[in-house]
């Protein structure tokens, strides 16, 4: 069932030399993507759908779409199910600019294979006779880097395999589907943990649930799936064996950083993913000219903008779409939410929500700026201010 179409610009604007160009920008084959986000996420123990749990200020699934936005994708199909309207509205409001999204609903949760069959209804017909490729991703892998996705697509097209899996080699593969090799070292099967033999459980190479598959072989393979497994579901992973037994070659790309493919299924895993993403954000800002006295106690959301020579003292939390100007000093122990700080301003040991702090202003220590507050350029707010009525609120 198609819920809604959300066009945002033209795929002509999305060229990536490392992968090829989009449908209208030959020579690259058409490239579409499917994001599977229909599950209940019961282990999160939350009324909020799992794909909408936040990491560094953004819902988890938006991090996945951000990674896809770096590829020359013609269309993204998002499969929704649990709390479908909530997930759909969030993506409509916040999806990356230029991304064309189609939403389809998996009404009954019958496994990832069934979800992929539903997703095909949202993909455009291949009416020009040109075989395209489909990138398939779960909606709960927010640490995936665009470069890894590009490498997957590049390898898939370079070998001309029917399908290419992104795999990982883990010290402890418990809970993951094991990759079983066949003739010519091709991937022959993916065996889920609950269906694996003792010998197969010893395999350390695992499936990450991320694929690039030729569009022409996808639908016929899905029609041959069967729910004859321990879970009684249609496994998307069974497509691998279907293709292999039909004589097609299935390849693989081993991810270099296994953190990229870590799924988030509960609050503990959410915290681990948050810590990893915050480390990446802090490192990027420090390499861009921001000073952090203690990166371990500095928390910056993904939509924050910092100018050069900003200084962040220990205990700083920047949430939402904060903007901090050059030479401003924030902290210690300061929390800003959707707040703009002008160049040269100082904010110490304070909390400011949706406020504007002018250039060279001073706020704190121990001040609170409520929503809509404004401190004029050079203004003073706090117990150390000499002006009894500094700035304007």
| pLDDT tens-place string over residues 168-199 | 999 999 989 999 999 989 999 999 888 899 99
Topology of domain 2-261, CATH:
Spore Coat Polysaccharide Biosynthesis Protein SpsA; Chain A (3.90.550)
Q: CA–CA separation, 136 vs 139, rounded Å? A: 10
Confidence (pLDDT) at 8: 35
- Kindly tell me the sign of the dihedral angle through the C-alpha atoms of 149, 150, 153, 155: negative
Cis status of the peptide bond prior to 332, with omega within 30 of 0: yes
Question: Considering 4, 23, 29, 43, which one is annotated as catalytic?
Answer: 43
39-47 mean pLDDT: 89
Does residue 321 surpass a pLDDT of 50?
yes
CATH fold for the domain made of 288-381: UDP N-Acetylglucosamine Acyltransferase; domain 1 (2.160.10)
Query: How large is the average pLDDT for residues 75-102?
Result: 94
Q: Which of 323, 361, 332 is nearest to 344 (CA)?
A: 361
- Yes or no: say if 359 and 345 are a contact pair by the CB < 8 Å rule: yes
Confidence of residue 40 (pLDDT cuts 50, 70, 90): confident
Tell me: the pLDDT tens digits for 301-315? Answer: 999 999 999 999 999
Q: Answer whether residue 375 shows pLDDT above 70.
A: yes
The verdict on whether 335 is a catalytic residue reads no
Residue 9 backbone class (left: φ over 0; alpha: ψ -120 to 50; beta: rest): left
Domain spans, the chain: 2-261, 288-381
* 241 or 109, higher pLDDT: 241
Mean pLDDT, residues 234-255 taken together: 95
Residue showing tokens 């904060």: 322
What's the whole-model pTM score?
0.87
SS3 334: strand
Average pLDDT over the chain reads 89
Average pLDDT value for residue range 56-69? 96
């Amino acid at each position: 069932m198609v819920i809604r179409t959300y066009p945002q610009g033209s795929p002509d604007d999305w060229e990536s030399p490392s992968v090829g160009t989009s449908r209208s920008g030959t020579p690259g084959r058409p490239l579409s993507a499917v994001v599977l986000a229909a599950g209940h996420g019961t282990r999160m123990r939350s009324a909020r759908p799992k794909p909408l749990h936040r990491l560094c200020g953004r819902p988890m699934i938006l991090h996945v779409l951000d990674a896809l936005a770096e590829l020359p994708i013609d269309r993204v199909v998002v499969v929704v199910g649990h709390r479908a309207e909530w997930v759909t509205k969030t993506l409509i409001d916040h999806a990356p600019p230029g991304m064309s999204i189609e939403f389809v609903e998996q009404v009954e949760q019958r496994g990832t294979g069934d979800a992929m069959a539903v997703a095909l209804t949202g993909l455009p017909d291949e009416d020009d006779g040109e075989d395209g490729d489909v990138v398939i991703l779960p909606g709960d892998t927010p640490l995936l880097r665009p470069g890894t996705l590009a490498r997957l697509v590049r390898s898939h097209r370079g070998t001309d395999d029917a399908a290419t899996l992104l795999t990982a080699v883990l010290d402890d593969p418990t809970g993951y589907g094991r990759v079983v090799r066949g003739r010519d070292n091709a991937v022959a099967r993916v065996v889920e943990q609950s269906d694996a033999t003792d010998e197969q459980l010893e395999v350390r190479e695992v499936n990450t649930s991320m694929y690039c598959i030729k569009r022409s072989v996808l639908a016929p393979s899905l029609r041959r799936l069967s729910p004859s497994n321990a879970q009684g579901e249609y496994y998307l992973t069974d497509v691998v064996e279907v293709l292999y037994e039909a004589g097609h070659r299935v390849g693989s790309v081993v991810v270099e950083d296994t953190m990229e493919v870590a799924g988030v299924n509960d609050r503990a895993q959410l915290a681990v993913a948050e810590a990893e993403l915050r480390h990446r954000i802090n490192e990027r800002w420090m390499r861009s000219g921001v000073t952090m006295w203690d990166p371990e106690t500095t928390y910056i959301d993904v939509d924050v903008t910092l100018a050069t020579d900003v200084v962040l003292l220990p205990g700083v939390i920047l949430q939402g779409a904060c903007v901090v100007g050059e030479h401003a000093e924030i902290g210690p122990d300061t929390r800003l939410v959707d707040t703009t700080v002008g160049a040269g301003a100082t904010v110490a040991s304070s909390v400011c929500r949706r406020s504007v702090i002018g250039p060279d202003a001073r706020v704190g220590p121990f001040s609170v700026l409520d929503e809509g507050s404004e401190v004029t350029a050079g203004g003073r707010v706090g117990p150390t201010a000499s002006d009894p009525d500094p700035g304007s609120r």
